[in-house]
Structure 1
Amino acid sequence: MPQVTWKGVITFGLVSVPVQLYAATEEHSGPTLHQTHAKDGSRIRLKRFCEAEGVEVPYGEVVRGYEAPDGRRVVLEESDLAELPLPSKKIIDVLAFVPADSIDPMMLARAYYVSTADKAPAKPYVLLRDALLESGQIAVTKVTMRTRESLAVLRVRGDALVLQTCLWPDEVRSAEGCAPDESVAVRPQELRMARSLMDTLSEDFDLSALHDEYQQALEQLIEAKLSGVETPHGEEPAATAGAEVIDLMAVLRSSVKAAKEVHGRGAAPAEAAPEGAAGTGAATTTTAKSAAKPAGKGGVKKGPAKKGATKAAASAGAEAPAKKATARRAAPRRAS
């Protein structure tokens, strides 16, 4: 079990739940990189100096302070901070119960597992957990940790309660100006193809199998440097299209095809755009012509069908009748 981060009480109404918090997550630190002198590779260390005395100050003599805009300074001792009149200092005060989707995920920050305190009764904990689980709600709370008061939510994960600190609403910046200004019309064919790509990429997806590839590559680079061997080099990233005008449908078709090949399902089915649809360009015409070729190469006799196809190639307006004629000729042979 990790080290206890905080001890206090959850209160909702007159119900009190003595609890303690444990960090629920840990970030991969990877190899620790130091500031180093490029000339000889020696370490560069930072030291704390007193401006007035010009001497190095031990860490034990360092406290927090504040300098006002007019130059006045105050020193804040740990005792000053400990005596701040905050009701949420040792209490996780439940303010309200709200639907789980009413909190913007942008506000969520650090997560902590909530455990019952030593020798505390388990029933109040279980009561709060089961009430949250049955209602599908989360509890909005306030808590003070490390001299900072935070908004937080209580929710259920498995059999445990989780406290997740949040940003205050005014700490989340507006997204104004981030979305494209111009009005863009997305055609139904493009949307269907995009959904097909989404479904294909999501097949057999296992989130738990993902890992930090940068940390792994960094460790390999350091090991190669220590061993005096050639350092590994990754492939150059493909150039992005940028502002270049592209055939979106063609790109989507290629993406779906590649994704299905990776998942072992073969090529994606062709999706023809309606005649006269804007934005398909030459790629749509080429696809339509290519699709007509297998019909001429099938079980159809050479001769009349071939002549009809030749006329269709000479005149774009006759392409549709030629296809119908080919289909009529092919039908009796397929039936025999």
Structure 2
Amino acid sequence: MRAIWTGAISFGLINIPVKIFSAVEDSSLDMDMLDQKDHANIKFKRINENTGKEVPYANIVKGYKIDDKYVILEEEDFEAADAIKTKTIDIQSFTAEKEIDSIYYEQPYYLKPEKNAIKAYILLRDALEASGKVGVTNFVMRNKDSLAILKPYKNIILLNRIRFAQEIRDTKDLKVPKAASINKKEMDMASKLIEQLSEKFDISSYKDEYTSKLLKIIKDKASGKKQSKSKLKVVHKQSDDLMAMLKASLESKKSS
């Protein structure tokens, strides 16, 4: 794995030099875009809109438009915005993880300590484990201010980036009613169905089956094997009689 950020965790007066590694990888297949006529690869180029010529990546700079003119930003400008945050994961407080709604979670990363910081790293990891709490942090990665939590995961400290409150869209425009005329029998039956389908969550029992099936189709096509059309599962028409649908659902689960 390749480190994508290098800096330090700030824990009181303790600095713990660490490197950040992505904790996840995409399980989907890497597809290329091709011309339908001759299957030639489609290339995307960085074109100067004035000259029509391609611009080498090394010659590209970042700019922000103000009054029809661009202000060009250098790497030092990004760091100058908050030099401390660009190199420090500052623990600002500790809280119970359950207090953070799942809608805020964005991306997990692994933190690996430098050799001279292993003891301090383990101290923080084990202290978090003992407290049952997570550290709330603020730092800058890839020129973006990031909010995150630190928590123990197996034998490492996991950094999970979370969204700021202003990044979450308001639900008021969806216009979903707050209530409906649900009677007690319907609620009891729905609760019974939930109970019947309840089980201990085991992440290992869930697999990305679509990607493996798609890869099989690709290999079959490459070998000239004809594909049989998949039959769609029949979905019964929604009934206004919720009790009847709930009973049918319960019976369906019992017979399976």
Question: Shorter-chain TM-score: what band?
Answer: 0.7 to 0.9
What is the DSSP-based 3-state SS (H/G/I as helix, E as strand, rest coil) of the residue aligned with 1:18? strand
2:219 paired with 1:223:
yes
1:115 is matched by which residue type in structure 2?
K
Q: So what's the TM-score if we normalise by structure 2?
A: 0.88
The question of whether the paired residues in 1 share the 8 Å contact of 2:239 and 2:245 is answered with no
TM-aligned CA distance change 1:167 to 1:96, over 3 Å: same
Structure 2 unmatched ranges of 5 or more: none
The question of whether the paired residues in 2 share the 8 Å contact of 1:8 and 1:20 is answered with yes
| RMSD between aligned residues | 2.4
Q: Deviations along 1:82-106, whole A, 9 cap, x unmatched?
A: 4443321111111111121121211
Residue in 2 that maps onto 1:308: none
Within the candidate set 183, 187, 202, 1:187 is matched to 183
2:10 paired with 1:11:
yes
TM-aligned CA distance change 1:14 to 1:212, over 3 Å: same
1:118 is matched by which residue type in structure 2?
K
2:138 paired with 1:142:
yes
Greater strand content: 2
Residue in 1 that maps onto 2:242: 248
Determine the C-alpha separation between the residues in 2 that align with 1:117 and 1:240.
58
TM-aligned CA distance change 1:49 to 1:121, over 3 Å: closer
Ranked by relative contact order (alpha carbons within 8 Å, sequence separation 6 or more), the top structure is 2
Residue in 2 that maps onto 1:22: 21
* Number of positions where the alignment pairs a residue of Structure 1 with one of Structure 2: 256
Greater helix content: 1
Residue in 2 that maps onto 1:115: 112
TM-aligned CA distance change 1:240 to 1:90, over 3 Å: farther
Determine the C-alpha separation between the residues in 1 that align with 2:172 and 2:252.
35
What is the DSSP-based 3-state SS (H/G/I as helix, E as strand, rest coil) of the residue aligned with 2:25? coil
Residue in 1 that maps onto 2:159: 163
1:110 is matched by which residue type in structure 2?
Q
2:117 is matched by which residue type in structure 1?
A
What is the DSSP-based 3-state SS (H/G/I as helix, E as strand, rest coil) of the residue aligned with 1:152? strand
Determine the C-alpha separation between the residues in 1 that align with 2:201 and 2:134.
28
2:70 paired with 1:73:
yes
Residue in 2 that maps onto 1:103: 100
Q: CA deviation at 1:205?
A: 6.0
Determine the C-alpha separation between the residues in 2 that align with 1:10 and 1:194.
47
Determine the C-alpha separation between the residues in 1 that align with 2:179 and 2:161.
38
| Identity between Structure 1 and Structure 2 (%) | 33
The question of whether the paired residues in 2 share the 8 Å contact of 1:107 and 1:166 is answered with yes
2:85 paired with 1:91:
no
TM-aligned CA distance change 1:71 to 1:239, over 3 Å: farther
Determine the C-alpha separation between the residues in 1 that align with 2:212 and 2:175.
35
Determine the C-alpha separation between the residues in 1 that align with 2:155 and 2:12.
23
TM-aligned CA distance change 1:21 to 1:193, over 3 Å: same
Within the candidate set 32, 38, 48, 2:36 is matched to 38
Determine the C-alpha separation between the residues in 1 that align with 2:117 and 2:178.
60
Q: Deviations along 1:117-175, whole A, 9 cap, x unmatched?
A: 123241x2233223322222211110111121101111122332211111111101122
Q: So what's the TM-score if we normalise by structure 1?
A: 0.68
Within the candidate set 250, 253, 256, 1:259 is matched to 253
Structure 1 unmatched ranges of 5 or more: 263-336
The question of whether the paired residues in 2 share the 8 Å contact of 1:220 and 1:232 is answered with no
